[in-house]
């Protein structure tokens, strides 16, 4: 296998593969993606895969997410059907007192051009007849939706490979050295050299940063998800907490717990999730749960994406974020611009690693 590359991406998940694909649109040779296991074996393969904008706060982060969601229809045209559905998103509330909070959120979003409606009980039930009739209302945004994460990453990989990107999988990076202005990435299957190095290790970002003496403050959060038997199509929207997939299965859950890299499921969370789902959609009480799975999600210390150049390090880039599915087309586009043109069409200074302070480097 070729050992010299223009750019190496560490991590082939939705973020790393998104970057590799977008880079390959601009130059055809010289990109290598290294993955510890196989893309989709980690976070990207254990997600509900919402493309979710509304009720992200503050509004500038929602705006950033919106730009990415806007890219999805074009992405499908370029790489193939990823089962992207702009269903619209509903975030129900059950107390009248929450209406004021919802209205404030809608107001703050209006300023940046995201349309959020605060729906009455009747409007919610008209849109989603199987919703609990005791619902008080919901916030609604038409831009929300979901995607099939397996198709998404598979299509990214296929398109990237067609454009000349190489993948080396089941290949763990063990050491990174910088010499003569180049990076030498040592892996289980040998050493590779590159000019540009992109760290897209998701939950493992901290460990990969350590190899270069760069602190990337990303923690692990475990999310557990329940899957129902295939049911007749009856949910129209992506509801915060659950969605129905194309094959009829309902995916439920948005739990978050600190459990390191432990991917077990626990009945505590499973029962909590089931109760939440039944509160939202009482009919689910009769559905059979066929499996539960958990995924370890990457969560930067302050919750926001870490994107762009690593300060003080030449040709070293980082992309580590929660909500990788929502943000991947935008992150791929922006990192490509940054590497090829030296600047981005949307400012990303806010997301620089430098916000964690110089003292974070060692």
**In the complex, which residues of this chain contact another protein (CB under 8 A)?**
36-37, 41-42, 261-271, 292, 296
- The answer for 199, left when phi > 0, alpha when psi is -120 to 50, beta otherwise, is beta
**Shortest approach of another protein to residue 300 CB, angstroms?**
20
Q: Hey, what are 160's tokens?
A: 């990237």
Residues 19-45, buried b or exposed e (16+ Cβ, 10 A)? bbbbbbeeeeebbbbbbbeebbebbbb
Q: Hey, what are 327's tokens?
A: 């943000």
38, containing H or E segment: none
**Shortest approach of another protein to residue 331 CB, angstroms?**
21
Task: Compute and round to an integer the Cα radius of gyration of the chain.
Answer: 21
> Which is nearer to another protein, 45 or 209 (by Cβ)?
45
> Which is nearer to another protein, 47 or 333 (by Cβ)?
47
> Which is nearer to another protein, 91 or 265 (by Cβ)?
265
**Shortest approach of another protein to residue 36 CB, angstroms?**
7
> Which is nearer to another protein, 111 or 285 (by Cβ)?
285
Cis peptide bond N-terminal to 323, omega within 30: no
**Shortest approach of another protein to residue 294 CB, angstroms?**
8
What are the residues whose beta carbons fall under 8 Å from the beta carbon of 175, sequence distance 6 or more? 185, 186, 211
Q: Between β-strands 316-320 and 306-309, what pairing exists: parallel, antiparallel or unpaired? A: antiparallel
> Which is nearer to another protein, 174 or 271 (by Cβ)?
271
**Shortest approach of another protein to residue 201 CB, angstroms?**
12
Distance CA 112, CA 125 (A): 28
C-beta of residue 311 within 8 angstroms of C-beta of residue 354: yes
C-beta of residue 27 within 8 angstroms of C-beta of residue 6: yes
Q: For residue 214, what are the CA distances in angstroms to 20, 53, 218, 301, 305?
A: 22, 30, 12, 15, 16
Distance CA 8, CA 134 (A): 53
**Shortest approach of another protein to residue 322 CB, angstroms?**
17
**Shortest approach of another protein to residue 34 CB, angstroms?**
14
> Which is nearer to another protein, 44 or 91 (by Cβ)?
44
> Which is nearer to another protein, 80 or 282 (by Cβ)?
282
């Amino acid at each position: 296998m070729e050992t010299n590359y223009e750019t190496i991406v560490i991590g082939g998940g939705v973020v790393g593969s998104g970057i590799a694909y977008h880079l390959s649109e601009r130059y055809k040779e010289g990109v290598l993606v290294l993955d510890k296991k196989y893309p989709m074996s980690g976070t990207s393969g254990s997600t509900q895969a919402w493309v979710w904008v509304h009720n992200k706060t503050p509004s500038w982060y929602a705006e950033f997410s919106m730009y990415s969601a806007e890219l999805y229809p074009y992405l499908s045209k370029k790489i193939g059907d990823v089962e992207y559905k702009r269903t619209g998103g509903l975030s129900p509330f059950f107390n009248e007192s929450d209406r004021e909070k919802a209205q404030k959120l809608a107001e703050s979003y209006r300023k940046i051009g995201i349309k959020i409606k605060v729906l009455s009980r009747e409007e919610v039930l008209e849109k989603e007849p199987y919703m609990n009739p005791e619902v008080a209302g919901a916030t609604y945004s038409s831009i929300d939706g979901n995607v099939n994460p397996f198709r998404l990453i598979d299509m990214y990989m296929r398109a990237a490979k067609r454009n000349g990107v190489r993948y080396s999988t089941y290949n763990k990076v063990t050491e990174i050295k910088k010499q003569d202005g180049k990076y030498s990435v040592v892996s289980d299957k040998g050493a590779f050299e590159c000019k540009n190095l992109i760290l897209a290790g998701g939950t493992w970002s901290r460990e990969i940063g350590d190899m270069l003496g760069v602190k990337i403050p990303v923690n692990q959060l475990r999310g557990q998800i329940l899957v129902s038997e295939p049911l007749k199509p009856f949910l129209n929207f992506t509801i915060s907490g659950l969605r129905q997939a194309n094959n009829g299965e309902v995916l439920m859950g948005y739990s978050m717990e600190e459990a390191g890299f432990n991917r077990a499921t626990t009945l505590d969370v499973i029962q909590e999730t089931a109760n939440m789902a039944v509160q939202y959609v009482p009919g689910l009480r009769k559905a059979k749960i066929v499996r539960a799975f958990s995924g370890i999600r990457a969560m930067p210390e302050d919750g926001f994406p870490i994107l762009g150049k690593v300060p003080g390090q030449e040709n070293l880039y980082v992309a580590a974020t929660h909500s990788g599915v929502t943000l991947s087309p935008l992150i791929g586009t922006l990192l490509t611009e940054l590497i090829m043109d030296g600047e981005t069409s949307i400012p990303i200074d806010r997301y620089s690693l430098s916000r964690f302070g110089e003292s974070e480097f060692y």
